[in-house]
Amino acid sequence: MYFVRFSLFFLYNGSEYKMWSRGYFSNDVWDNATKNHQLNLTYLSNSIGDQVDGIVPDSSFSVKRSLTWILYILIGITAIVGAAAIYTYLKEEGQKITKIDEEIYRLKGKYRELEERIKKKKKNQ
């Protein structure tokens, strides 16, 4: 996990305030400064050598392994959709794809037969 460092300096009623995020302090310093569920700003000031008037809410993030399998799935889906688009284009332009047409019609027929069998089984139950 990585901590992002933020600091906020401002003047208010003639006084300068300096606020630091958690990322400026090591784990040991932070643990010692937050003992007994209280924040010891003096200890934090001594550790960084500058005044600490408060803590800015920090932001942290972690780095995970890349998810390359998602990329492969998207490439596969793109290839399937591209092949379907080419097939549809060639069908609409009137060019014949006899072997592919025969295979598609055969698969459609098997699917329809399966649908009919399922409907019959549901009626018989």
Residues 59-95: tens digit of each pLDDT: 766 777 777 888 899 999 999 999 999 888 877 877 6
Reduced to 3 states, what is the DSSP secondary structure of residue 6?
coil
The yes-or-no verdict on residue 28 having pLDDT over 70 is yes
In sequence order, the 6+-apart residues with CB closer than 8 A to the CB of 52 are 18, 19, 20, 41, 44, 45
Structural contact between residues 61 and 23, judged by C-beta atoms closer than 8 angstroms:
no
- Whole-model pTM over 0.85: no
The pLDDT of 46-68, averaged and rounded, is 82
- pLDDT of 92 reads 80
Residue 46 burial (CB count, 10 A): 13
Closest by CA position to 1, among listed 66, 65, 64, 62: 62
Cα-based angle 53, 56, 49 (whole degrees, multiple of 5): 45
Segment (H or E) for 102: helix 98-124
